Amino acid sequence: MSDQFTLRVNGADHDVRDSWLGESLLEVLRNRIGLLGSKGACEQGECGSCSVVVDGELVCSCLVMAASAIGQSITTVEGIAPDGAPSDVQRAFVDAGAVQCGFCTPGLIVAVHSLLESDGEPSDTEVREALAGNLCRCTGYGRILEAVERVVVERRR
Amino acid sequence: MAVFVATDVASAVERLDDRPESIVLAGGTDLMVEVNDGRLRPLPDADVVAVNRIAELRSWRHDVAAATVTIGAAVTYSEMLAEPLAQLVPALAEAARTVGSPQIRNAGTLGGNLGTCSPAGDGLPVLAALGASAEVASTQGRRSVPVVDVMQGPKRTTLGSGDLIVSFTLPVTDGWQGYAKVGVRNAMVIAIASTCLVLDRQRRSVGLALGSVGPTVLRAPELEAAFAAALDWRTMSVHADAVRTFADGAAAFAAPIDDHRASADYRRHAIGVLTRRLAARGLDALGAAA
């Protein structure tokens, strides 16, 4: 068992107890803190469904040891639109039909926000490279790329 | 037992020295895969020493007079592929860009690459071909070790339990350097075969290192010397036969195995292709500039 520690998630402090040493941030987010938006699938950084932002960097929360993230600022998909109204990226995903089973969606939403914060006008190739770590088995990616394009165009206005 | 988030090298190595079973955690992209899978459990009397918030490990510096760059062990692939580091060590930037995905590149580190010491580690052929040295700290002090001497076998290094990789020092070369890799797609791929080639015009030397085709990354000094001797360094031209001999030699030098990713034959062939392709790219680039 690890000592109790505190994580700052979406602007709020959460005390984490009874976590086992080495437990991933993904497990702690879902099972200790109760934030179920980040999904767990591969648990080896291959699928991107657990993507979160730690101190400004997009990472896979399954590869972050939770207790090592003390003092860092963690943003999950729940922190993207905290007041309940969907973000522009979330709306674009719905409008473009980029959500099918929905399992990969939270990770993609976090990844797209992270991409557009660092580059507001990414080329198609740059979008594909930026989202290469987020696997979707339903859409074939076309509608996801379209959703990103919609946000780029909207934000330009 | 605890997770210790170190903020300086001294406290990190003290902790490692106190509890020899402790585990060094850098970006977590290798370590956490093993933890999640249950293959690795931190022991009750051991610590996890997180090193990716040690300022010295997180920074890099360019020594212009010495023509070297020193890269902290916890510098991430995302930082290596971005300017200004990319311009100083282009092959490392190319290798970094082939690592995983943005999520992995934002976390994975060069020190972790050597610590894990997979023969497929993308940073390692670059460090080997450039003759990089690693600075290693322990409670006994610091020492500088050639990276090729640290790599002992698949996931085995010569580093002891109290050792911490602090940084890597590599030359800033005048000439051309490149990295190429074969995998099943452009992202999220562990190299089936990889090659780094350095054409150092000032030293008139060639560096060639091969990944995923031996128990560790392989460096080929005899092939390097032969190709360097065949090159006209003034015009950066060479007889086509010499490139073929170099590439065939690299393929023959490779010592691959069959595994679930590829057959040994395929890997050997890939090394020949990659070596020929890199040599052509480098000579084109330098010949056009000459």
| Chain B residues close to A133, C-beta within 8 Å | 100-104, 187-188
pLDDT higher than 70, residue B185:
yes
State which H helix or E strand residue B226 sits in: helix B221-230
User: Is B26 touching A (CB cutoff 8 A)?
Assistant: no
For residues A51 and A60, give the distance between their C-alpha atoms in angstroms, rounded to a whole number: 5
Q: Complex ipTM, two decimals?
A: 0.97
Tell me which residue in A48, A63, A114 faces B28 most closely, judged by beta carbons: A63
Measure CA B106 to chain center: 17
Q: Which of A60, A112, A119, A129 to mutate to test the interface with B (most CBs of B within 10 A)?
A: A60
Q: Which residues, at least 6 apart from B251, have a Cβ–Cβ distance to it below 8 Å?
A: B268, B269, B271, B272, B275
The per-residue pLDDT for range A72-115, each reduced to its tens digit, is 999 999 999 978 899 999 999 999 999 999 999 999 999 999 99
Q: Do B2 and A45 touch (CB under 8 A)?
A: no
How many other C-beta atoms lie within 10 A of the C-beta of residue B37? 10
Q: Do A60 and B103 touch (CB under 8 A)?
A: yes
The per-residue pLDDT for range A7-36, each reduced to its tens digit, is 999 999 999 998 888 999 999 999 999 999
The per-residue pLDDT for range B64-80, each reduced to its tens digit, is 999 999 999 999 999 99
Q: Percentage of chain B surpassing pLDDT 90? A: 92
Q: What is the DSSP letter of B109?
A: B
Q: Which residues, at least 6 apart from A148, have a Cβ–Cβ distance to it below 8 Å?
A: A89, A92, A112, A115, A116, A122, A127, A131
Give the chain B residue whose CA is nearest to the CA of A27: B36
